[in-house]
Amino acid sequence: MAAILIYSDKTKLAFELLNAAQLIGKNTDLTIKAVSINNDEQAEELAAKGAETYKIINPELNLADTGAMASALLQTAEKLDADIVLLSSNRRGKELAGRLAQVFKAGCLTDVKSMQTENGRIECVRNVLGGATVAIQEIISDKKVIAISPKAFPAAADEVGGTINEYVVNIIPSGIKLIETRAKAGDSVDIEAAEILVVVGQGVESQESLPAIMEIAKNLGGEVACSKPVATDKKWFGEERILGLSGKICKPDLAIILGVSGQVQFTVGIRDAKTIVSINNDEKAYMNQMADYVLIADIKEVLPELQKAIG
C-alpha cells in the first residue's frame, strides 16, 4: 500500500505534518508513516499521536548535512513505498525539500499555507510574486515533495495504535562538517497568537520610542511586531517579531501599523488581519490603501498622545 511519509526536525512541526497527512490520506488507501532522525523523544511523541514511526538513530547522520539527509529520506521513502513526502517549511525543511525532490525525481512546492484534496488530487496554496498573488498549484509528477508552512495546520490529536520501528539507512555524507551551533538570543514571543499587534516600521525613527510602543501594546493586551528592516538592519528586535513573506503571517483582530510603507513582502504577513490601522506621514504610502483606518501623522508627534490614552 502506498504511503505518505512525514519528517521534520522539529517535533511541533512534525505533529502539524501528521495532521496534514491525515487530511491528504482521508478517503484514500494511503497509509501515513513518520520518520524521526536522531531523536528518541520525538519518535515516542509521534507514536503517542498514533503514528507508525520509523526511528533512525545514527550519530553519523548529521542534520546539517542536507545531502546526507536527502539520501536518508530517499532510501526510507523508497523502502516504505511512499510517493508523497511532507516536510516542514522551516529553513532546514525547505533546504531539504529541494534536495530530496531532485534525487526523488519529484515535483516540489514549498511554503504551502493550505491544501485542498479531492479524488487524490492535492491542491496546494502558496504565495507567489513576492506575495502579490496567491496561487493554487498541484504537483503532477508521480512523486511529490510538499513543504508546509509552520502553523498552517494544527497539531494532530493524540491517538492510540502508534508504533516505533527502528530503521537503518546507509549514510552518504556530502562533506559538510558542523563546527559549532550557537543558540540565538531573542525572546520567545509568539506574535501569531496575539489578538492585537502594534507593528513597528522604519517610520519609527528613534529607538527611544520603543518603550512607549511596548507599553501601548501591553496595555492593549497585544504584542509588538515589526517590519523586516527594523529587525535585520536596525536590530531593534529579534527575527521572531518580523511580519511578512520571510517572517510570520498573522491574523490578529487588530493591527496598528506605525510607519510601514506597505511593500508586498510585508503586507502578505498582515493582510488577513480583521482591522488594520495605518499611521504614516506619507498619505500616498501603499500601506494606507491596505488599511481600514488611516491617520496621516508624524509618529514622533502622535506617540505621546497614544501612550497617554492607552498607557
Partner 1 sequence: MNIVVAMKQIPDLQQIRIRNRKPILDDVALTFGNIDKNALEAGVQLKEATGSNLIVVSVGTEALEDTIKEALAAGADEAYLVLDDEIGDMESSSSARLIAEAIKKIDDVGIILFGEGSGDNYSGQVGSRVAAILGLPQAGYAKSININGNIATVTRSLEDCEEVLEAELPIVVSVIADINEPRIPSVTQILKAGRKPKEMLELDVTGDSMLETISNLAPEMQRKQIEIETIEKLLKVLENEGLLRR
Enumerate binding residues for ligand FAD (CB under 6 A): 201-203, 205, 227-230, 242-247, 259-261, 263, 265-266, 269, 280-282, 285, 298-300
Q: Which of 2, 128, 157, 168 binds partner 1 (CB under 8 A)?
A: 128
Q: Which is nearer to ligand FAD, 54 or 266 (CB)?
A: 266
In the complex with partner 1, the residue whose CB is nearer, 53 or 261, is: 261
Give yes or no for residue 106 binding partner 1 (CB under 8 A): yes
Q: Which of 105, 123, 4 is nearest to 54 (CA)?
A: 4
Sign of the dihedral through C-alpha 110, 145, 93, 89: positive
DSSP code for 258 = E
Q: Output DSSP code: residue 253.
A: S
Which of residues 82 and 230 has its CB atom nearest to ligand FAD in the complex?
Answer: 230
Measured from the CB atom, the residue of 170 and 289 that comes closer to partner 1 is 289
Cell of 254: 487588530
CB of 215 to partner 1, least distance (A): 13
- Nearer to ligand FAD (CB atom), residue 93 or residue 247: 247
Q: Which residues contact 157 (CB under 8 A, 6 or more apart)?
A: 49
**Contact track, partner 1, 240-279, x by CB under 8 A:** x----xx------xx--------xxx-----x---xxx--
User: By CB under 8 A, is residue 177 in contact with partner 1?
Assistant: yes
Q: Which does 149 bind (CB under 5 to 8 A by kind): partner 1, ligand FAD, none?
A: none
Q: Would you state the cell numbers that stand for residue 201, as one nine-digit string?
A: 516600521
Contact string 67-86 vs partner 1 (x = CB under 8 A)? x--x----------------
When CB distances are held under 5 to 8 angstroms depending on the partner's kind, the choice from ligand FAD, partner 1, none that residue 201 binds is ligand FAD
Contact flag: residue 193 with partner 1 (CB under 8 A): no
Residue tagged 504614516 (cell numbers): 280
Give the count of residues interacting with partner 1 (CB under 8 A). 83
Degrees (nearest 5) of the Cα angle 185, 187, 191?
A: 135
- Segment 2-61, which members bind partner 1 (CB under 8 A)? none
Partner whose footprint covers residue 238, from ligand FAD, partner 1, none (CB < 5 to 8 Å by kind): none
Cross-sheet strand order for the sheet of 52-56: 107-112, 144-148, 82-88, 3-7, 31-37, 52-56, 163-167
Q: Could you say which of ligand FAD, partner 1, none residue 247 binds, taking C-beta under 5 to 8 angstroms by partner kind?
A: ligand FAD
* Half-sphere exposure at residue 93, Cβ-oriented, CA atoms within 13 angstroms: 26
Question: Going by C-beta distance under 8 Å and a sequence separation of 6 or more, which residues neighbour residue 231?
Answer: 237, 238, 239, 241, 242, 247
Are the C-beta atoms of 117 and 91 separated by less than 8 Å? no
